[in-house]
Amino acid sequence: MLQGSVSVRRVAAWLLVLILAMSAVVAAENGARVYHGNTKSKIFHRPGCRYYNCSKCTATFPTRQKAVAAGYKPCKVCKP
Ligand SMILES: [Zn+2]
The confidence band for 52, taking pLDDT boundaries of 50, 70 and 90, is very high
Residue 41 contacts by C-beta under 8 Å, 6 or more apart in sequence? 56
CA of 76 to the centre of ligand 1 (A): 6
Domain count, the chain: 2
CA of 26 to the centre of ligand 1 (A): 23
Q: Same structural domain for residues 24 and 38?
A: no
| Average pLDDT along the chain | 87
CA of 56 to the centre of ligand 1 (A): 13
Question: Which residue range is the domain that position 63 belongs to?
Answer: 34-74
CA of 45 to the centre of ligand 1 (A): 4
In whole angstroms, give the CA distance from residue 23 to residue 7: 24
Instruction: Please report whether residue 59 resides in a domain.
Output: yes
Q: Same structural domain for residues 65 and 38?
A: yes
pLDDT at 62 over 80: yes
Sign of CA dihedral 38, 77, 70, 61: negative
Q: Same structural domain for residues 43 and 27?
A: no
Regarding pTM above 0.85, the answer is no
pLDDT tens readout for residues 4-42: 677 888 988 998 988 888 877 666 555 556 999 999 999
